[in-house]
Amino acid sequence: MYTVHSTIHRFSANLMFDGKRFVNDKTLITDSKGKILDLIPSVDAGEDVRFLEGILCPGFINAHCHLELSHLKDKIPMHTGLIDFLMTVMQSRNENDPEEIIAFSQKANREMADNGIMAVGDISNNTGSIPVKKNSDLYYHTFVEATGFLDFNARERFAYMKRIHQDFMNNGLTASLVPHAPYSVSHSLFQLINDVSQKDIISIHNQECEEENTMYETGKSNFKRLYDNLGMDISGFRHTGKSSLKSWFPYFNMQHPIILVHNTFTDESDIAFVNESGHSAFWCLCPNANAYIENRMPPVEWLLKRGAKIVLGTDSLASNHQLSILEEIKTLLKHFPDIPLEKMLSWATLNGAQALQCEDKYGSFEKGRTPGIIHIFPSGKNAGGEIKLSETAKVERLK
Chain residues in the site for Zn ion (CB under 5 A) = 315
Query: Helix, strand, or coil here: 354?
Result: helix
Quote the DSSP letter at residue 242.
S
Minimum distance from residue 263 beta carbon to Zn ion (Å): 12
In the complex, minimum distance from the CB of residue 286 to Zn ion, in angstroms, rounded to a whole number: 7
Smallest gap from Cβ 79 to Zn ion, in A, equals: 17
Q: How far is the CB of 181 from Zn ion (least distance, A)?
A: 9
Round to whole Å and give the CA distance between 396 and 54: 11
Instruction: Compare residues 315 and 327 and give the one whose CB is closer to Zn ion.
Output: 315
Q: Which of 270/315 has CB closer to Zn ion?
A: 315
- Element containing residue 167 per DSSP (H, E): helix 154-170
Distance of CA 123 to the CA centre of its chain: 10
* CA–CA separation, 394 and 390 (whole Å): 9
Residue whose CB is nearest to Zn ion in the complex, by number: 315
Q: In the bound complex, what is the minimum distance in angstroms from residue 193's beta carbon to Zn ion?
A: 17
**Closest distance to Zn ion from the beta carbon of 320 (Å):** 10
CB of 313 closer than 8 Å to CB of 323: no
- Which residue number, 14 or 126, has a Cβ lying nearer to Zn ion? 126
Looking at beta carbons only, is 315 or 328 nearer to Zn ion? 315
Give 318 or 395: the residue with its C-beta nearer to Zn ion: 318
User: Helices then strands (H, E): number in the chain?
Assistant: 14, 15
Please identify, using beta-carbon distances, which residue of 9 and 180 lies nearer to Zn ion: 180
CB of 285 to Zn ion, least distance (A): 12
**For residue 347, what is the DSSP state?**
I
CA angle 268, 274, 278 (to 5 degrees): 140
Nearest-approach distance from CB 313 to Zn ion, in angstroms = 8
| CB closer to Zn ion, 64 vs 165 | 64
Shortest reach from residue 316's CB to Zn ion, in Å: 6
Smaller CB separation from Zn ion, 69 or 345: 69
CA 127 to mean position of chain CA atoms: 20
Of 121 and 363, which has the nearer Cβ to Zn ion? 121
- For residue 251, give the 3-state DSSP assignment: helix
Residues 6+ apart with CB under 8 A from 46: 1, 2, 3, 4, 10
Q: How far is the CB of 115 from Zn ion (least distance, A)?
A: 18
CA gap 197, 144 in Å, rounded: 14
User: Three-state SS string across 277-346, please?
Assistant: HCCCEEEEECHHHHHHHCCCCCCHHHHHHCCCEEEECCCCCCCCCCCCHHHHHHHHHHHCCCCCHHHHHH
- Under a CB-based contact definition with an 8 Å cutoff, are residues 360 and 102 in contact? no
Q: In this structure, how many other beta carbons lie within 10 angstroms of the beta carbon of residue 43?
A: 9
Which of 376, 303, 373, 389 minimizes the C-alpha distance to 340?
389
CB nearer to Zn ion: pick between 15 and 259: 259
How far separated are the first and last CA of the chain, in Å rounded? Answer: 22
Q: What is the DSSP letter of 112?
A: H
